[in-house]
Amino acid sequence: MDNKLSNLYFFEYEGAYFLYDIESNKEYVISKYLFDLANSSDNDVLMKTLREFKLNKVNNDRMFRYKLRLENFLSDFKISISTIYLYLTELCNLKCKYCYVKPKNKHMNIDLLKSNFNKLLNYFDRRIQNYRFFGGEPLLKYNMINELVSFIENQKDSNCKVEYYISTNGTLLNRKEVVDLIKSRNINLKITLDGNKETHNNNRKFIDNNGSYDIVINNILLLLDNNFTNFTVTITLNNENLELYEYVHYLLKIGVKNIRWQFVVDESLLIKEQHIDKIKSELNKIAKRYLVDLQNKNLYNISNFTSVYPHFLSKDPQIFRCGAGISSIAIDSDCNFLLCQRFVNNKEGIIGNISNGLNIDKIKNIMENTNLSYLYKCKNCWIRYFCAGQCYYNNLKLNNNINIPYQPFCEIIKEYFKIGIWLLYNIKNIKDKQYVKRALELKNFVH
């Protein structure tokens, strides 16, 4: 492609035609004529027509800002951790097919954590604002959560507002002591569900082989009946449960207001190339439903879509893939520091420990060697400044290389960004600007 056109991306979504300028991070609604012209071989006519958008000159502004931000960050390398994941226990009351944690009778060394807590706060300039409890099933250790929350509240700076989160399978939310803990501590929840009853019960069984779906759904209804809404339901998708619209529709029907989905990375259940068209079709149905509901002021959060908004509303390119090792870390049961929570029981993800602090050199080395300069498969991708190379863990798990993303996931992520542009275009046409502001600032509070 002509160099002048290589930084432009044209696409159609739901009868609307868009031009996205990769280097300036600007999107334009265009005519079908221009879209068809872009897909023809007549570049001279296309460039002449593009002059109305002032895009006929090569614009390297975004790459310049990317390199400048990266250079400044690495030359004055500082860690600014605001989120810590605490791996409380390897115990779980379910035996999910695809779980990456191998259950053992092992729990966090809470005494070691507490005795070094001030040191921990000082490592991170006392800026920690989010504590996220995970496992295993962390609610099996609800007393430990309560103890840690009390301890953190007593140790933190008085002017520091802290939020707490629990990732749970949802089976224990009917216990009074658990409900009391969540309500009294105002804890946010991420509850995992695997689609419909048949699929969920096939993948997420209790130790005695009974399915867990009915219990989880009843517990979600119990939360809603008690006007507790600080939770996200995360749908776990695999190659056996692709009816995503059906699952989202049901959750909306029962009153869930925060929904997201994620994909299994277990080889036997992995999404493959042949599943992409089906997934795109499901995403399209959800996006159309979501827009109609937004226009009718039925506001809820589909965070796979809304999480892309900030990328288009910001001038700065994303220099790293996520906050792993930069704004967030995980602490395992031995009080090792991990790049992220998914690296539990994986030595490659260890970046220090609570006694000796962070291995800054290792973190810096990871960041120096995982930026766009090393992502040869991403160098021409139109969302390279947003995605920045996908998940570290997924890349290692699926391609044995932290810099090689899994291609089917690439296709899905690019679809999120197309939908994001389409939604933004339509949302901005809503006349009630206060409502538009609310729609654009929906809180994606659990990941």
| The pLDDT value given to residue 390 | 94
| The pLDDT value given to residue 231 | 96
Q: Is the per-residue pLDDT at 370 higher than 70?
A: yes
For 59-75, what is the mean pLDDT?
Answer: 75
Alpha-carbon distances, residue 332 vs 79, 125, 126, 372 (angstroms): 19, 21, 20, 30
pLDDT per residue over 334-343, tens digit each? 999 999 999 9
pLDDT per residue over 6-41, tens digit each? 788 999 999 999 999 888 888 899 999 889 888 886
Alpha-carbon distances, residue 366 vs 180, 296, 321 (angstroms): 42, 46, 12
| The pLDDT value given to residue 172 | 98
Q: What is the mean pLDDT of the chain?
A: 90
